[in-house]
Amino acid sequence: MTTIYNFGAGPACLPQEVLLQIKDDIPNWYEGMSVLEISHRLPIFMALIDTIEQNFRTLLSIPDEFAVLFMHGGARSQFAAVPLNLLKGAKTADYLVTGMWSALALEEAKKYCQPHCVASSQSQHYTAIPPEASWVFEKDAAYFHYTDNETVHGVEFLTAPNSKGKWLVSDMTSNILTKPLDFSRYGLIYASTQKNLGVAGMTLVIVRKTLLGHAHPFTPSTLNYELVAHSNSLLNTPSVFCWYVLGLVLKWTLKQGNIEKIANLCQQKADLVYHFIDSSDFYTNPISKESRSRVNMPFHLPTPALEESFLKQASEQGFKQLKGHKNIGGCRISLYNAMPLLGVEKLIDFMRAFERKH
């Protein structure tokens, strides 16, 4: 059978080792029961939750001033949870718009406040982070929201942006666990789990403890950070399977090395792709070099017909899910931690051969 390399943006590929372990565990994880069937109140499950939190803290060096929560509803629910919990009566918050996901976060926030758009690269089709000199801040903003990596447009912040002293609130759904973080700048970081953390169905929230306890009274209980923190993320029945897979993925991630080593490999894979695309006049990536994502790379071929044929042949040869997001078309490579270097090298060989032929 051809080896399959899955370059999908999410739900994304899992490490092979994790998939095999799941297969092994399904029939009997605990006393003859599968992990899909056990109570989240069993001591074995509680122990799993503790290990997961500890592993996150180790991998990202999360300081004690932060609570680590696991919530329902994906990252999009956080678009609402963030203003509901963090406005603390303020009428506005700063939002930097660098692609589809940060634009959607701002739209959702409009239900709860009058979010202030610091800057937007929409008129440049989100091909670069707007220059910092053009940013306009709102002095009464409760926080500064941005999307660290725009999964659809392929734009990423390599360092935390200037927020004029306001706590940074960041959507790191597609690049969590790919680099060390300077927590001193952050109030809150969130990421749903279907990219570097396992399967869809859960959202990681790392929140400064001093920000808890100020939710708007009409905040749904399941979106209230303080209630979730007090219940050890077990306010209601969690997705036990997501949690279990997250446990396996974190164990695997720890085996890959520390976060600096993981960041180096991430950069190495991205460099291979961009170096190849930049040396070709057949493939093009529209993003300005300083804003390019290390994990999601949209690209185009000279014509839509060639793109269609590329995607078909790539799939036949085992390179899956390279189609671009429906809103922008073209093709896209996603390189999360589970994608081995070998997969990237083989994809580039395929792309080179396709270019020569056409």
Of 60-68, 167-175, 303-311, 337-345: span binding ligand PMP (CB under 6 A): 167-175
Residues 6+ apart with CB under 8 A from 200: 10, 11, 74, 192, 193, 194, 242
Stretch of 82-90, 135-143, 166-174, 278-286 contacting ligand PMP, by CB under 6 A: 166-174
Give yes or no for residue 170 binding ligand PMP (CB under 6 A).
no
8 Å CB contact between 331 and 320: no
Nearer to ligand PMP, 85 or 174 (CB): 174
Q: Judged by CB, which is closer to ligand PMP: 21, or 147?
A: 147
- Do residues 187 and 207 lie in contact, with contact meaning Cβ atoms separated by under 8 Å? yes
Residues 69-98 that bind ligand PMP (CB under 6 A): 74-76
The answer to whether the Cα torsion of 72, 188, 136, 216 is positive or negative is positive
Regarding 352 and contact with ligand PMP (CB under 6 A), the answer is no
> Which is nearer to ligand PMP, 103 or 301 (by Cβ)?
103
CB of 133 to ligand PMP, least distance (A): 25
CB of 120 to ligand PMP, least distance (A): 16
Contact 167, 188 (CB under 8 A): yes
Q: Looking at the chain, which runs of residues are DSSP E strands?
A: 5-6, 66-71, 94-97, 116-120, 144-147, 149-150, 155-156, 168-171, 186-192, 203-208, 296-299, 319-320, 331-334
Distances 249 to 18, 36, 202, 243, 252 between C-alpha atoms, Å: 7, 17, 14, 10, 5
Contact flag: residue 45 with ligand PMP (CB under 6 A)? no
Nearest approach, Cβ of 20 to ligand PMP (angstroms)?
Answer: 26
Is the distance from CB of 97 to CB of 120 less than 8 angstroms?
A: yes
The residue from 10, 154, 198, 247 that contacts ligand PMP (CB under 6 A) is 10
* Residue with smaller CB distance to ligand PMP, 79 or 244: 79
32's CB contacts (< 8 A; 6+ apart) are none
Indicate whether 11 belongs to the interface with ligand PMP (CB under 6 A): no
Per rule CB under 6 A, is residue 53 in the interface with ligand PMP? Answer: no
- Position with the least CB separation from ligand PMP: 74
The residues in 292-351 that bind ligand PMP, with binding defined as CB under 6 A, are: none
Cα angle vertex 317, ends 314, 318, to 5°? 90
The CA R_g of the chain, rounded to the nearest whole Å, is 21
Active-site annotation, residues: 101, 171, 195
Contact characters 140-159, ligand PMP, x per CB under 6 A: -------x---x--------
> Nearest Cα to 66, choosing from 221, 202, 204?
204
- Window of 138-146, 170-178, 279-287, 314-322 that interacts with ligand PMP by CB under 6 A: 170-178
Applying CB under 6 A, the residues found at the interface with ligand PMP are 10, 74-76, 101, 147, 151, 171, 173-174, 192
